[in-house]
Amino acid sequence: MGPADLEKLISGLNLYVDESTLVGVGDDGGVYLHRGNLYIHTVDFITPIVNDPYLWGAISAVNSLSDVYAMGGKPLNALAIVCFNNCDLDVSVLKEVLKGAVDKLREAKTVLLGGHTVDDKEPKFGLAVTGVCKDGKYLTQEGAKVGDILYLTKPIGVGILTKALKSDLIKEKDIQQAINYMLELNDIAGELALEFANACTDVTGFGLLGHAFNIARKSKVKLVIEYGKVPFYPTAVDFVQKKVYPKGAMDNYNFVKEGIDKGSEPLEWWQVLLLSDPVTSGGLLMSVSEDRAGELEKKAQEKEVSLWKIGSVEEGSGLLLLR
C-alpha cells in the first residue's frame, strides 16, 4: 500500500472545470483566475510529528503554507482544520497547537479566517490556504528544461528522525536542527524560485524521489539525482542504517520504483530509503537554467536561504536517474 494519490483517484471521473481553472488537481496547489487575479488554493493537514504541541502547530502551519510558496505565490488567508478529541487530550494542548500556528501565520502575514473541528481519536491539524500570484506569474512542476540544475533548500531525513522520536530512541532536543528547518517558512525560497526556476515543488510526503519524479513526469525530462550531493541529517543516516525508518519510506520507494531509470547506479537499501523518506515541511526543489544558477546562488547567500545543488536535468521521458 502506497500513499493515496488524489490525481490518480479522480482520473477518469467527470470533473467539472471551467476556463478560470489554470492549474487543476495534481500540482502543489490549484491556480484559479478570478477578475484578473490569479489565486492559489491548497490544503494540508498532518498528525503530530513532535511531542511539543506548540511546535507541532507551528510546523504544520509552515507545511500548509509551503505549497503556495512552491508555486511562487504569497499566502493571503487560511482556514484551520482540527481533528481532536477533548476526552483523550486536554483542550489546553489544542490551544498550544493553535498558538504555534497563529504565530507562524503572523510571520507569514496570513489571516486566519476560520476553520472546522471534528472529533477524532487521532489528532490532526492543518490549514487550507489561499494565496495570490505576484504579477500573474506562478510556477508548477512542469517546465524543467534539459540542461537545468536541480537545487534543494532543506535537508532530508525528518521522517526517520520523527520515527526515532516516536520510538523513544531520541529526544526532541536531539533533532533541534531538523525542527529549526521545519519551522522555517519557504517564503524567501519561493521568491527566489519565482525569479529563477523553470519548475518547482516542495518536498513533502512522497519524499525527495517522489516529488522529483513528479517534476520529471510533468516536464517530460529525466531528472538526475546525485546521491552524494543530497543533504541528509547525519542522525537520520545513522538511524536508517539501524533499520529505524517510517513505513512511509518503503511505501514511497515502492511507488516511485517504476520511475527509476535502469541505468541508475545501484544504491544501498538504506540510501534508497533516505531518498524516499517522507518529509514534513521540507524545502523547495527547483529546476534552474544553468546560465542563471550563479545569480541564484549569490542571491540565496545574501538572503540566507540554504541551497544544495543535487543534480541536473537531461533529455528523457519522465524518469529519474540516480548516481
Catalog residues that contact Co ion under the rule CB under 5 A. 28, 44, 67, 116, 202
Residue by residue, DSSP assigns 192-244 as HHHHHEEEEEE--TTHHHHHHHHHHHHHTSEEEE-GGGS-B-HHHHHHHHTT-
Nearest residue to Co ion, scored by beta-carbon proximity: 28
Q: Report the nearest approach of Co ion to the CB of residue 219 (Å).
A: 16
Say if CB 207 and CB 320 are below 8 A apart. no
Least distance between Co ion and beta carbon 64 (Å):
7
Segment (H or E) for 251:
helix 247-256
Query: Which lies closer to Co ion via its Cβ, residue 62 or residue 160?
Result: 62
Question: Of 23 and 240, which has the nearer Cβ to Co ion?
Answer: 23
Contacts of 107 (CB under 8 A, 6+ apart): 185
Q: What is the closest distance, in whole angstroms, from the C-beta atom of residue 28 to Co ion in the complex?
A: 4
Q: Is the CB of 111 or the CB of 146 nearer to Co ion?
A: 111
Question: In whole angstroms, how close is the CB of 296 to Co ion at the nearest point?
Answer: 21
Q: Which is nearer to Co ion, 202 or 261 (CB)?
A: 202
Q: How far is the CB of 85 from Co ion (least distance, A)?
A: 17
Cβ closest to Co ion, residue 163 vs residue 211: 211
Phi then psi for residue 66, to 5 deg, are -60, -35
Task: Give dist(CA 274, CA 250) in Å, integer.
Answer: 10
Least distance to Co ion from the beta carbon of 29, Å? Answer: 7
Question: Nearer Cβ to Co ion, position 106 or 116?
Answer: 116
**Cβ 193 to Co ion shortest distance, Å:** 12
Q: Residue 25: what are its φ and ψ, rounded to 5°?
A: -55, 135
Q: Return the number of the residue (116 or 242) whose C-beta is nearest Co ion.
A: 116
Residue 284 C-beta: closest distance to Co ion, Å = 9
Angle at 252 between CA 248 and CA 258, to 5 degrees: 160
Cell 517522489 belongs to: 210
Say which DSSP state 17 is in: -
- The secondary element (H helix, E strand) that includes residue 38 is strand 37-46
CA count, 13 A, side-chain hemisphere, 187:
17
Distances (CA, A) of 40 to 30, 31, 137, 288: 6, 5, 11, 22
Give the Å distances, CA to CA, from 167 to 77, 163, 170, 294: 36, 6, 8, 43
Residue with Cβ nearer Co ion (116 or 171): 116
